[in-house]
Amino acid sequence: MKVVVAKDAGYCYGVERALRITLKATKESPKPIFTLGPIIHNPQVVESLKARGVVPVHSIGEAENGTIIIRSHGIDPKIAQEAKKKGLRVIDATCPIVKKAQHCAQQLIEEGYDLVIVGERKHPEVEGIVAYARNHALIVEQPSDLDNFPHNKRVGVIVQTTQPFEKLLLVVSKLLPISKEVKIFNTICDATTARQEAARKLSKEVDVMVVVGGKNSANTTRLAEICRAENTTTYHVETAEEIDPKWFSNSATVGVTAGASTPDWLLEEVVKRLEKINSS
Ligand code: F3S
């Protein structure tokens, strides 16, 4: 059985950066160290950070003193101000690509556009962007959300970094015929597209796909969906221990990929396990 790893797999730049900032904080910043929400959607990494004294909290209210780290998704700037007022040291690990989306939203509102955000209403990144738009934004999850959108408006469009480009196109093509003007910032992140394209391509070439990453990670789950959509048998695992050799009894090739929040060591452990199955 041949084991092939996808061309683009594992940590993206923003997640790697957030983790680097967090590890630096464990050495240099006032303790205790908190993260507002898990710093990364990967339970194994969150556990290993806990062992170094990094505790995820749901709200500023749970952090009495020390340092709080804002994760790569970003947050409502008012929350950061609140934390500073409490006397906490605030370290901003928002991904620069998400920051760009926040600033584009702010700019469009200041220029008087009606803002449309293509993305998931409940995603923390979108909640943060909405706050930068002073809560004046329509969130569009599906093009049908625009069915009652008023005509003849000057519309500004931005998009959650992890959304598919096709969805942005569908939304824009629905807005163009009914609007006076449409100004678009394509704020989609290349890292997501590259991982999705690599997973799609590989799943067409192999018998079985193994997708490695947190079950709570939207981008990892999406990779598994993309592979299944190619009619390739796909297993989503968090660790190498979950792998059952029976999955590969009739397979000549197995593809492996990992979400943007999956560390290299988890991906490598899975590859090693597959190679071991191969040789036994
Ligand atoms: Fe940033 Fe893109 Fe990763 S927006 S957090 S580099 S998926």
The pocket around ligand 1, CB under 6 angstroms, is made up of 12-15, 72, 95, 97-98, 161-162, 189, 191-192, 260
d(CA 89, CA 74): 16
Topology agreement, domain 13-94 and domain 97-188? no
82 is catalytic: no
Q: What is the pLDDT of residues 68-115, one digit of tens each?
A: 999 999 999 999 999 999 999 999 999 999 999 999 999 999 999 999
CATH architecture of 97-188: 3-Layer(aba) Sandwich (3.40)
**What's the confidence (pLDDT) of residue 279?**
74
Interval 215-224 mean pLDDT: 91
pTM: 0.90
Report the alpha-carbon angle 127-75-58, nearest 5: 95
From residue 195, alpha-carbon distances to 102, 210, 224, 255, 279 in Å are 23, 14, 11, 13, 29
In the predicted model, is pLDDT for residue 219 greater than 90? no
CATH number of 13-94: 3.40.50.11270
Q: What is the pLDDT of residues 205-215, one digit of tens each?
A: 999 999 999 99
Give me the residue spans of the domains in the chain: 2-10+191-279, 13-94, 97-188
Set 28, 47, 125, 268: catalytic member = 125
CATH number of 2-10+191-279: 3.40.1010.20
In the predicted model, is pLDDT for residue 41 greater than 90? no
